[in-house]
Amino acid sequence: MWGDLILYLLLEGFVLNLIIVENTDSVDGGRYRLGGERAEHVFGVLKSKVGDELRVGMVDGGKGVGVVEAISKGEVVLKCEFEEKAESMQVGIDLVCALPRQQTVKKVLHSAAAMGVGRIFFIRANRVEKSYFEASVLEEDNIRRFLIEGLSQGGKTAMPVVSVHRYFKKFFEDELGDVEKNFGGYDVKLLAEFSTEKMLSEFDLGVGKRVLLAIGPEGGWVDFEVGLMEGVGFEKFFLGPWTLRVENAVVAAIGQIELAVNGYGK
């Protein structure tokens, strides 16, 4: 799974802000052996040498420093110390996103991981094409690839949990209720919508709140959908006087929630 990711990053020319390691990379005594292409990144892009220190992050764990103990084009051994505890977000944001086209799914996964989203629910909606559910990006390995890319970029380690839901009504009437029962309820459920002037400033947001944010398809939700979502507790808010691409709507909305909670709500 690392091959395409690193190739992509190399093509894009980005440098990872955090080298993500997993338990399965562990050798012994805090040593982690990284696969061919992560090694390629450390060797070819970062041009690290033995003794260099790299920022590392353990999936769903802490961040720390990895000292390069051995390096080649094919393999890197890092001796890692994870000094920092896994971060706990001050705002817990989960995301409901009408399933967009494949290229947009990748960007949403990337940004959501980089911005610390906990769960991502991709759902069907009237303006979601059925064929989108067959996209290869939704295969587990591919989802994980773009999430890890986002974690690396964002300097985060908490891997979002992603699920795909093929039935709009069933999601809101059954499945979401089960999630709330098992993992705790949401304090505020938000729905970005043009038919309101109510901005996030008018919601009861504050540190520690659990927020569920819903972002619609490119053409917007249909009335029936907005009605059904309001019926299960969603409230409409006005994001701004723009029609944004889905990936930008996600980023703008999370940015606003962060400000509303930690800027004004503390």
**Phi/psi of residue 87, nearest 5 degrees:** -70, 145
CB-neighbour burial class of residue 193 (10 A; exposed 0-12, middle 13-18, buried 19+): buried
Taking CB under 8 A as the criterion, which residues in 203-232 touch a copy of itself?
Answer: 218
Q: Most distant CA pair in the chain: distance in Å? A: 60
Task: State the residue for tokens 């109510």.
Answer: 198
Instruction: Calculate ∠ Cα 141-103-224, nearest 5°.
Output: 100
* Token duo for residue 29: 């005594």
- Cα 42 from Cα 170, distance rounded (Å): 45
Q: Which residue from 7, 50, 199, 232 is in contact with a copy of itself, where contact means CB under 8 A? A: 199
Taking CB under 8 A as the criterion, which residues in 91-110 touch a copy of itself?
Answer: 101, 103
Task: State the residue for tokens 């939704």.
Answer: 138
* Token duo for residue 247: 């990936």
Distance of alpha carbon 108 from the chain centroid = 7
Stretch that binds a copy of itself, among 36-44, 71-79, 167-175, 234-242 (CB under 8 A): 234-242
Task: In angstroms, give the least distance from the CB of 172 to a copy of itself.
Answer: 26
Task: In angstroms, give the least distance from the CB of 191 to a copy of itself.
Answer: 16
Q: Which residue from 76, 80, 114, 148 is in contact with a copy of itself, where contact means CB under 8 A? A: 114
By DSSP bridging, strand 53-58 and strand 19-21 are: parallel
Q: Are 105 and 120 in contact (CB under 8 A)?
A: no
Residues in contact with a copy of itself, counted by CB under 8 A, come to a total of 42
Q: Which residue from 187, 230, 235, 258 is in contact with a copy of itself, where contact means CB under 8 A? A: 258
**Per CB under 8 A, does 29 bind a copy of itself?**
no
Q: Which residue from 64, 116, 118, 216 is in contact with a copy of itself, where contact means CB under 8 A? A: 116
Stretch that binds a copy of itself, among 21-29, 58-66, 160-168, 196-204 (CB under 8 A): 196-204
**Per CB under 8 A, does 126 bind a copy of itself?**
no
Q: Which residue from 118, 154, 216, 217 is in contact with a copy of itself, where contact means CB under 8 A? A: 154
Which residues sit at the interface with a copy of itself, rule CB under 8 A?
12-15, 17, 89-90, 101, 103, 111, 114-116, 153-156, 199-202, 218, 239-245, 248, 251-256, 258-260, 262-264
